[in-house]
Amino acid sequence: MSRIVYVNGEYVDEVDAKISIFDRGFLFADGVYEVSTVINGRLIDNDIHLNRLQRSLSEIQLVIPNSLSQIEVIQQQLIDRNQLVEGIVYLQVTRGAADRDFKFPDNPVPSLVMFTQQKNVLSNPVADKGIHVMSVDDIRWARRDIKTVGLLAPSMAKQKALDEGADDAWMVEDGFVTEGSSSNAFIVTQEGTIVTLNLGNAILAGITRSVVLSLATDKGIEVEERPFSITEAYNAAEAFSTSASSFVYPVVKIDGTWIADGKPGAVALELRRLYIEAATAED
């Protein structure tokens, strides 16, 4: 079934959606995006996603005419028009069309595009089995805290991992794990402490990351935000990743090394359960 998508003020059939070839998102990856999850037709943690959108926009000095509440109305319209029960809403803002030039246009007319994707986010066999990850050099730029549409490096990382028979890539810089190709990366030490890289320019401040860390703290689980090496990850009691579209995925193998007994860890499974409980309870 063809979807209804949103393009610059209009709801159109996806085959009729048009963006200029001069759009700076297309020519320069000059744009930012957000992915919000939908469960039972409702957006999850969307206000935090939209606040991050606002931050990404201000980091690239892009002002848009739409307020965050207007954006949420459009997101909800798309969910309703596509009768989306479970999945995601993708939204992208770019600096719009302008004759090709590295400098920013003087009076940009930003493009705002949104679409939905159906996805089984609640029950997912991957979450029950756990995933295999492969470490890949982190070749991305130095402002990974901005959720930019320039995603070739993580896309290459993911493809490399898939080509080698793994499910995803964990990116490594100077021996330390930064994050997954489109997720944040965590380990649980033998003492039961959750470790994940501290926020900064090196990683995206994941919304699921922040929610999961506060759920863990509420449960009395120790959390340390610090760098961890890929070797520390091989020897961890557990490993897992988080993102809006996957929630919590246990990681059971890294670079061919099974993590502990090679089964999804108890902490990861419990955090996944708590996350879903919180997400489906918000009313």
Residue 147 appears among annotated catalytic residues: yes
Neighbours of 257 (CB within 10 A): 12
Give CA torsion, residues 265, 205, 53, 208, to 10 deg.
20
Chain residues 132-161 in contact with ligand PDD, contact rule CB under 6 A: 154
Give, as ranges, the residues between 242 and 281 that touch ligand PDD (CB under 6 A).
242-245
- Residue 118 makes contact with ligand PDD by CB under 6 A: no
**Contact track, ligand PDD, 34-53, x by CB under 6 A:** -x------------------
Residues in 192-221 at the binding interface with ligand PDD, rule: CB under 6 A: 204, 206-209
Kindly give, in sequence order, each residue whose CB lies less than 8 Å from that of residue 131, ignoring residues fewer than 6 positions away: 166, 167, 168, 241, 249, 250, 251, 252
Q: How far is the CB of 103 from ligand PDD (least distance, A)?
A: 28
37 and 44 Cβ atoms separated by less than 8 Å: yes
Q: How far is the CB of 242 from ligand PDD (least distance, A)?
A: 6
- Tell whether the torsion through CA atoms of 101, 102, 103 and 104 is positive or negative: positive
Q: How far is the CB of 142 from ligand PDD (least distance, A)?
A: 14
Catalytic positions:
147
Which residues lie near ligand PDD (CB under 6 A)?
35, 154, 179, 182-184, 204, 206-209, 242-245
